[in-house]
Chains A and B, each alone.
Chain A
Amino acid sequence: MSAFLKTLFGDASTVSVVAIVMATEVLLIANGQVALAAFAVPPLVLAGVAWLAAR
């Protein structure tokens, strides 16, 4: 079962990175920063990838 869940969602670190990205998107949009979001989210995703790769 754990292997199945890991296949679907990845490990806890991967889920954390995506959760932070999603929370940031929601916060930016909720605060009216729609134009900023397109430029802020991709670097944040890449930072998350860098952290996952360097672990």
Chain B
Amino acid sequence: MLDWTIVVPSFLAAAVEWVEAFTIVLAVSLSIGWRASIGAAVTALATLAVMTAATGGVLGLGLDIRWLQLAVGIFLLLFGVRWLAKAIARGAGLKPLHDEAQEFALTRAQLARGDWIASWLIAFKGVLFEGLEVGLVVAAFGLHGGAWASSATGALAALFVVVVVGLVVRAPLRRVPENAIKFTVGTMITAFGTFWTLEAVGGAAAWPWGDWSLLGLATFYALGGLALMALLHTRRTAGAVP
């Protein structure tokens, strides 16, 4: 039985990374062909599978659950605050929106100067680094009540959807509203990270409404993030006027 409170955030978090990885593989395929670029991607995915299994194995060795919760919570906070801050900065206009088409063109330009091995390595590293974040998310959400199947299902479903949509659309995924996804995922991951770290440090009594506090945290970060975005946008606009 899948736990949808794990599948959905795992799916969303993984989708953001798979979109970036697919864009790189697509660009590389134009230089060294689909077979070689898919070979690089599959090699990277196999490496990731081993790393994810190792991570899960280490985390499941029977260590004190509070220490595991603390370690995973810190990881989630590290990811969450980074993603949320980036999404807010982009939404406020402080940083350019992540442009998949620009990344696509940049990768092609790099490939024009390199050779076959360099191209293969670009695809391999792209999938490995983006997928590494997915692997950590799978391990993190999998710890929640031992929901490994739900967590892995969410990430694999995201991979399937991104590949299918990418192949159908062909153009470098310009229509995927990455910043909106990143903001949503950032709020959810930050909420989970806050909840788990404080529960690990202070015990179950630290959250007066138990698991319902998660919903409150996600709402607080979402509304707070939107308010910050508006505030930073206003400050930037005011600063631009002489």
Chain A positions within 8 Å of B207 at CB level:
38
User: Which of B78, B92, B132 has a CB less than 8 Å from the CB of A53?
Assistant: B92
In contact, A18 and B94 (Cβ under 8 angstroms) = no
User: Which of A9, A37, A50 has a CB less than 8 Å from the CB of B78?
Assistant: A9
Interface residue count on the A side (C-beta < 8 Å) = 30
Of chain A, the residue at the smallest CB distance from B207 is: A38
With contacts A34-B202, A46-B228 taken as known, whether A7 is within 8 angstroms of B133 at the C-beta atoms is yes
In contact, A18 and B198 (Cβ under 8 angstroms) = no
Taking chain A's interface residues, is the majority helix, strand, or loop, or is none over half, making it mixed?
helix
B80 to chain A, nearest CB (A): 8
In contact, B94 and A26 (Cβ under 8 angstroms) = no
- The 6 listed contacts between A and B (C-beta, < 8 Å) are A4-B132, A10-B81, A14-B78, A38-B198, A42-B220, A53-B94
Instruction: Give the CA-CA distance A18 to B193 in the complex, in Å.
Output: 10
B208 lies within 8 A of chain A by Cβ: yes
Taking chain B's interface residues, is the majority helix, strand, or loop, or is none over half, making it mixed?
helix
Instruction: Give the CA-CA distance A25 to B202 in the complex, in Å.
Output: 8
In contact, A29 and B202 (Cβ under 8 angstroms) = yes
In contact, A45 and B190 (Cβ under 8 angstroms) = yes
Instruction: Give the CA-CA distance A3 to B121 in the complex, in Å.
Output: 15
In contact, A42 and B202 (Cβ under 8 angstroms) = no
Instruction: Give the CA-CA distance A38 to B221 in the complex, in Å.
Output: 14
Interface residue count on the B side (C-beta < 8 Å) = 36
Instruction: Give the CA-CA distance A5 to B20 in the complex, in Å.
Output: 19
B32 lies within 8 A of chain A by Cβ: no
B45 lies within 8 A of chain A by Cβ: no
Chain B positions within 8 Å of A22 at CB level:
74, 197, 201
User: Which of A10, A14, A34 has a CB less than 8 Å from the CB of B206?
Assistant: A34
- Known: A14-B78, A49-B224; 7 extra A-B contacts, CB below 8 A, are A4-B129, A9-B78, A14-B82, A21-B197, A26-B201, A46-B228, A50-B228
Of chain B, the residue at the smallest CB distance from A17 is: B81
A38 to chain B, nearest CB (A): 6
A1 to chain B, nearest CB (A): 12
Instruction: Give the CA-CA distance A38 to B191 in the complex, in Å.
Output: 12
Instruction: Give the CA-CA distance A21 to B221 in the complex, in Å.
Output: 15
In contact, B82 and A41 (Cβ under 8 angstroms) = no
Instruction: Give the CA-CA distance A8 to B76 in the complex, in Å.
Output: 10
**0/1 string, A13-54, CB within 8 A of B gives 1:** 011011001100110110000110110011001101110111
